[in-house]
């Protein structure tokens, strides 16, 4: 086998547990991975193991170095201490799972079986049962009493009773269940993959002799020169080496207007060249490429199960011994094998274990189709449970394309110089306000070459640097006035005027003196007030807005959005603290943010939501990503979470009710075993199809549907 180590965590000494995640270098089927899993589980000292057929990965936990060595020997054929990953830029194999059986068994059962001789029908039943019997026997030999063992026992009981029609029906319905799960899982994960995919297969590299050659994206290396022309997607992160172009960064920042990029400028994967041509020196490859991130995301999203999904799976496993015990009691009391078999033919575990993951996957796929990347089933549950909504202001409640409307200089300073210095410092940062300052300087034709010393972004504060030996600080009022101790009274009158208009203010201090400020008009998103009202209708008890602006500006924006609770002059660290305080009060917080500053609060919340036009860090930290620059996706996400949980609860109740009726019917011989098995499996398929309904029915927008609490 050809596996390489993706990640490893070791204990403090050789006696403690460790874990290793490995991935296949070449295509491998789900069946081969499953067989690999079984072999791993037989190694002494391997405490747990799992596989992910979608990306060809294996995860195992070991108790000692010897177990680790044996596992590596199994996966590679070499007893080595560490294995190299593939060369940088090599894309991981995202694999197709094997189709369990499709609809052919159903067609064979309906149209072919009735015309077969009795002997052939019997042989056909036995042959179709063999895979399920083998699966159950393997599970039993590994010491597991799970659903596979129960299915095998039910089929064996039917074979003993020579009820071959029931055997055929059981294998048919079990196969249909596997096909249904496969189809939903594949379609769901394909949608999630597509929503994050760069959709670039090959790139043009500039060779040393000046010629251009086309190579697969997976072969791009750091420091390669990539050529991108009009209309082309930029496939890498890098620095412009030559050329000039307008780059549309809407996919990263939400800013609709093209941004000029020339030699020395930074560009990012996923953005598009609108006009011009660029030669880009690659700076980000290997584990940082989008292809590798997609594979990792798929692994993590499948692993992040909702707690209700885990409960359903635990209940399903617990139901299996109960079913066997009940069958044994019935046989001891009645000595009637048919009655005991009827218990095995009707169980709760199949529907419990199948319907909930199908509901979660279908809903995640539905979210991807409607502009929501939900990074795991647990966050669907969190979207349902949240009762407190917290918004960041800039770039979230307001548009992500603010503009500078006024530049105000303090006595002794020039307006153009204030703007030039601020643009010089702010051009290094991706926040919408920083881009607005840089854009204003470009409009006025101000050159702001990098003459300053190294720029330092002080998280929770602002920007610090120096120019010609002079100390420079750019940031909010709190940073300049309270943290840096700068007297801003020379601008007090202008501050009052601009704040009353609801404008955000950014200050510049030089050598401990206030040099000036810019007033930024950041209009509220047109849908903000409607979305806030809709979210209240969907059960949110409290809605808050957090901002670093002063109270007057914050009040104007909050009033426009229909929010009656806000916190002004809030530092980024305070945002996280406020979220934690709300959580300690028993609130389940849904936090919506977009900036680097919002990342701690997004992490501290019950569920964090980021906008597509936010910073990379915010999008990475968030649990839910809205892939359209529109707050209406927040309403759809809440609706999706609530509907998914409501459907899971309904399926749970339906499973218990229907299977209890079928079980009692079999015990009192009101239903023959074959009919009990048919009804049981049809009910399992029924709740599974019901679990999938969210992706078959389009979600309505807030304008079309009056939200209900």
Distance between CA 48 and CA 64 in Å, rounded?
13
CATH code for the domain in which residue 499 is found = 3.40.1110.10
CATH of the domain at 212: 2.70.150.10
What domain range is 549 assigned to? Answer: 372-398+524-627
Rounded CA-CA distance 524/547 in Å is: 13
- Give dist(CA 399, CA 432) in Å, integer: 9
Please check whether residues 495 and 578 belong to one and the same domain: no
Are 591 and 462 in the same domain?
A: no
> Domains in the chain: how many in total?
5
For residues 469 and 508, membership in a common domain is answered with yes
Whether residue 430 is contained in a domain is answered as yes
DSSP secondary structure code for residue 700 in this structure: P
Rounded Cα distance, 8 and 410, in Å: 56
d(C-alpha 153, C-alpha 149), whole Å: 6
The CA distance from 583 to 604, in Å, is 9
Whether residues 408 and 512 fall in one domain:
yes
Check which CATH number belongs to the domain holding 27 and give it: 3.30.1370.10
Structure tokens at 541: 């008890």
Statement to judge: residues 184 and 325 lie in one domain: yes
Kindly state whether residues 581 and 508 are assigned to the same domain: no
Give the up-direction half-sphere exposure of residue 515: CA atoms within 13 A in the CB hemisphere: 22
Together in a domain, 476 and 445: yes
The pair phi, psi for residue 46, each rounded to 5°, is: -90, 105
Quote the CA–CA distance of 28 and 6 in Å, as a whole number. Answer: 17
276 and 408 in a common domain? no
Structural domain contains residue 706: no
Q: Which of 497, 521, 545 is the last residue of a domain?
A: 521
Q: Indicate if 448 and 310 belong to the same structural domain.
A: no
- What is the predicted pLDDT for the residue at 254? 41
Query: Which percentage of the chain shows pLDDT scores above 70?
Result: 70
pTM: 0.57
Q: Where are the alpha helices (DSSP H) in 428-538?
A: 432-443, 477, 492-500, 528-537
The answer to the question of residue 334 being in a domain is: yes
| Residue 557 is assigned to a structural domain of this protein | yes
173 with 320, same domain: the answer is: yes
Does 185 fall in a domain? yes
DSSP for 130-149, written as a single string: HHHHHHHHHHHHTT--SHHH
Other C-beta atoms closer than 10 Å to the C-beta of 33 total 21
Adjacent-strand bridge partners of 406? 519
pLDDT in tens, 201-230: 678 888 888 888 888 877 888 889 999 887
Q: What is the pLDDT of residue 706?
A: 39
Separation of alpha carbons 461 and 597, rounded Å: 9
pLDDT at residue 196, rounded to an integer: 47
- Which regions in the chain score pLDDT beneath 50? 12-16, 78-100, 102-103, 106, 110, 192, 195-196, 251-256, 289-292, 294-295, 297-305, 453, 459-460, 695-696, 699-709
DSSP states of 318-368 as a string?
A: HHHHHHHHHHHHHHHHH--HHHHHHHHHS-SHHHHHHHHHHHHHHHHHHHH
Is 392 tagged catalytic? yes
> What's the pLDDT at 82?
37
For residue 219, the tally of other CB atoms under 10 A from its CB is 16
Note the pLDDT of residue 696: 38
Please tell me the predicted confidence (pLDDT) of residue 491.
Answer: 94
Query: 533: exposed, middle or buried (C-beta count within 10 Å: 0-12, 13-18, 19+)?
Result: middle
89 domain residue, yes or no: no
Count of other CB atoms within 10 angstroms of residue 285: 23
Residue 705 CA to its chain's centroid (Å): 27
Based on the fold, state whether residues 343 and 385 are members of the same structural domain: no
Q: Which of 574, 603, 627 is the last residue before a domain boundary?
A: 627
Across 648-668, b (16+ Cβ under 10 Å) vs e yields beebbebbeebbeebbebbbe
CB 393 within 8 A of CB 550: no
> Residue 227: what are its φ and ψ, rounded to 5°?
-105, 130
> If residue 151 lies in a helix (H) or strand (E), which one and from where to where?
helix 147-160
Q: Do the domain assignments include residue 81?
A: no
Q: How far apart are the first and last CA of the chain?
A: 54
Looking at 48, 76, 104, which one is the last position of a domain?
A: 76
Out of 148, 151, 347, 392, pick the active-site residue. Answer: 392
Of 485, 472, 554, give the one whose Cα is nearest residue 511.
Answer: 472
CATH number at residue 622: 3.40.50.1000
Phi first, then psi: what are they for 130, rounded to 5°?
-55, -45
309 and 241 both lie in a single domain: no
């Amino acid at each position: 086998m050809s596996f390489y180590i993706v990640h490893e965590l070791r204990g403090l000494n050789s006696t403690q547990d460790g874990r290793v995640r490995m991935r296949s270098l070449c295509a491998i089927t789900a069946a081969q991975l499953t067989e690999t899993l079984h072999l791993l589980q037989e190694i002494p000292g391997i405490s747990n193991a799992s596989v992910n057929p979608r990306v060809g990965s294996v995860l195992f936990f070991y108790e000692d170095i010897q177990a680790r060595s044996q596992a590596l020997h199994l996966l590679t054929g070499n007893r080595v201490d560490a294995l190299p990953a593939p060369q940088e830029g090599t894309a991981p194999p995202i694999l197709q799972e094997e189709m369990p059986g499709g609809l052919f068994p159903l067609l064979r059962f309906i149209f072919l079986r009735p015309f077969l001789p009795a002997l052939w029908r019997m042989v056909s039943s036995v042959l179709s049962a063999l895979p399920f019997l083998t699966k159950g026997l393997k599970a039993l030999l590994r010491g597991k009493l799970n659903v596979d063992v129960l299915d095998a026992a039910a089929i064996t009981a039917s074979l003993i009773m020579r009820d071959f029609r029931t055997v055929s029906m059981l294998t048919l319905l079990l196969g249909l269940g596997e096909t249904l799960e496969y189809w939903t899982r594949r379609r769901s994960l394909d949608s999630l993959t597509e929503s994050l995919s760069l959709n670039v297969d090959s790139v043009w590299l500039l060779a040393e002799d000046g010629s251009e050659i086309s190579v697969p994206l997976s072969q791009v290396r750091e420091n390669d020169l990539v050529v991108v022309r009009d209309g082309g997607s930029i496939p890498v992160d890098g620095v412009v080496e030559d050329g000039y172009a307008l780059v549309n960064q809407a996919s990263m920042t939400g800013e609709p207007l093209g941004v000029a990029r020339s030699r020395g400028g930074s560009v990012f994967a996923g953005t598009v060249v609108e006009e011009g041509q660029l030669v880009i020196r690659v700076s980000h490859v290997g584990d940082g490429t989008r292809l590798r991130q997609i594979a990792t995301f798929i692994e993590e999203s499948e692993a992040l199960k909702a707690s209700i999904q885990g409960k359903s799976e635990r209940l399903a496993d617990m139901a299996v011994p109960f079913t066997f015990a009940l069958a044994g009691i019935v046989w001891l009391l009645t000595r009637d094998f048919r009655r005991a078999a009827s218990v095995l033919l009707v169980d709760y575990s199949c529907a419990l274990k199948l319907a909930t993951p199908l509901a979660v996957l279908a809903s995640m796929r539905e979210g991807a189709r409607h502009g929501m990347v939900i990074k795991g089933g647990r966050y669907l549950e969190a979207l349902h449970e949240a009762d407190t909504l917290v918004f960041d202001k800039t770039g979230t409640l307001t548009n992500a394309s603010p503009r500078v409307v006024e530049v105000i200089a303090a006595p002794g300073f020039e307006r153009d110089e204030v703007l030039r210095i601020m643009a010089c410092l702010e051009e290094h940062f991706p926040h919408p306000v920083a881009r607005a300052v840089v854009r204003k300087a470009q409009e006025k034709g101000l050159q702001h070459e990098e003459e300053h010393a190294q720029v330092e972004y002080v998280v929770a504060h602002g920007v610090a640097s120096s120019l010609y030996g002079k100390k420079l600080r750019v940031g909010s009022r709190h940073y300049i006035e309270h943290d840096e101790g700068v007297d801003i009274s020379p601008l007090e009158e202008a501050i009052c005027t601009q704040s009353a208009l609801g404008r955000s203010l950014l200050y510049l201090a030089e050598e401990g003196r206030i040099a000036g400020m810019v007033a930024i008009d950041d209009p509220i998103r047109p849908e903000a007030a409607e979305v806030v009202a809709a979210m209240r209708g969907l059960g949110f008890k409290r809605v808050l807005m957090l901002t670093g602006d002063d109270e007057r500006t914050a009040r104007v924006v909050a009033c426009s959005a229909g929010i009656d609770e806000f916190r002004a002059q809030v530092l980024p660290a305070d945002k996280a603290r406020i979220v934690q305080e709300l959580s300690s009060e028993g609130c389940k917080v849904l936090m919506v943010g977009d900036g680097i500053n919002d990342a701690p609060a997004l992490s501290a919340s019950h569920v964090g939501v980021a906008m597509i036009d936010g910073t990379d860090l915010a999008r990475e930290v968030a649990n839910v990503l809205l892939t359209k620059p529109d707050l209406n996706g927040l309403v759809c996400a809440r609706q999706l979470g609530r509907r998914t949980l409501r459907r899971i609860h309904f399926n749970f109740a339906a499973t218990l009710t229907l299977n209890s009726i079928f079980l009692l019917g079999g015990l009192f011989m009101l239903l023959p075993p074959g009919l009990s098995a048919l009804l049981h499996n049809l009910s399992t398929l029924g709740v599974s199809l019901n679990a999938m309904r969210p992706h078959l029915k389009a979600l309505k927008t807030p304008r079309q549907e009056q939200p209900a609490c």
